[in-house]
Structure formats: structure tokens, C-alpha cells
Structure 1
Amino acid sequence: MGVADGRLEMLFVNPDHREHGVGKQLLEHGIAHHNVSELTVNEQNPQAIEFYQHMGFVTYRRTEQDEEGGPYPLLYMRLQR
């Protein structure tokens, strides 16, 4: 997990350890101790989108390209409190 200025920059969980609460624990720690309230996720990653929605994040913006101009739509999400 990487966090900068209240924004989750990255969260990776080894596929062998998914579905065991590791991602939830990491994100809850980020929210509680690093003020995580925003993140960006690739729209082509429905598993991640579903996870973040389950954790209380909602989409507030969508782009057609990633931040480097690549053909990867991004969803910008905020923690709904």
C-alpha cells in the first residue's frame, strides 16, 4: 500500500492471499492512520472497483485515459462518510 496526502496511490495483495481480509485491513489502516479519503482505480479492474465500493468509496469522476495518456479509463473515487 502506498499513500500520499490522503490519497491511496497503490494497494496490491498477492493473489494467493486475496479473499482473506488483507486488503480490507490495509485500507482500514490507511483510512484510520493516514487519512485516506480518495483513490484512483483502472476501470478495467472490476474486482478492485467492487472492493473499493464495498469499503465505502464512490466514483466522482471518470476519464477516458490514464494519467500518462494511455487507453486506460480511470475512476476517481472518494470515501463517502
Structure 2
Amino acid sequence: MLFLDPEARGQGLGARLLCLGMEQYGVSELTVNEQNPAAAGFYRHMGFAVYRRSELDEQGGPYPILYMRRG
């Protein structure tokens, strides 16, 4: 999970952290809550695309999840 303090957004920190995860840990897929359009937009901007959607989160809660991958 990647979270930034709202005051830290827009400074390139999220992109740097995500790039670190991709380069050093092989992150190529992720999930994002569909109800967080800013996060989904960030990942799209970073080259990720939705390949699957679920009405429920991993715990069965009513939170739609977007499954995204890069490539």
C-alpha cells in the first residue's frame, strides 16, 4: 500500500516511491479502491491500466476494487 500525507502530494514523492517498488521489488500489479479516483488517476498516469474489477474488496467489504497492471 502506498499512502502519502495530503500535504505531501504533488511533490513527486508518490512517483518516486512507486518507481522504487517497481525497480527494486518488481511491482507490476496493484489494487486500488475505485472510490479513490485520485489514486486510480495517479496509477494510470504512471502507466498502469485496469485489467479486472471487483465489487468487493479482499475482505469481502462493499468497496469496489480495480486491479491494475503495468505493461
Asked if TM exceeds 0.5, the reply is: yes
Structure 2 unaligned runs (5+)? none
* Matching residue's letter, 2:23: A
Higher relative contact order (Cα pairs below 8 Å, separated by 6+ residues): 2
Match of 2:69 among 61, 70, 78: 78
User: What is the CA RMSD across the aligned residues, in angstroms?
Assistant: 0.5
Q: 1:41 is matched with which residue?
A: 32
* Equivalences, count: 71
Runs of 4+ in 1 over 6 A off after TM superposition: none
Structure 1 unaligned runs (5+)? 1-9
Structure with more strand by fraction: 1
Structure with more helix by fraction: 2
Cα offset for 1:75?
A: 0.3
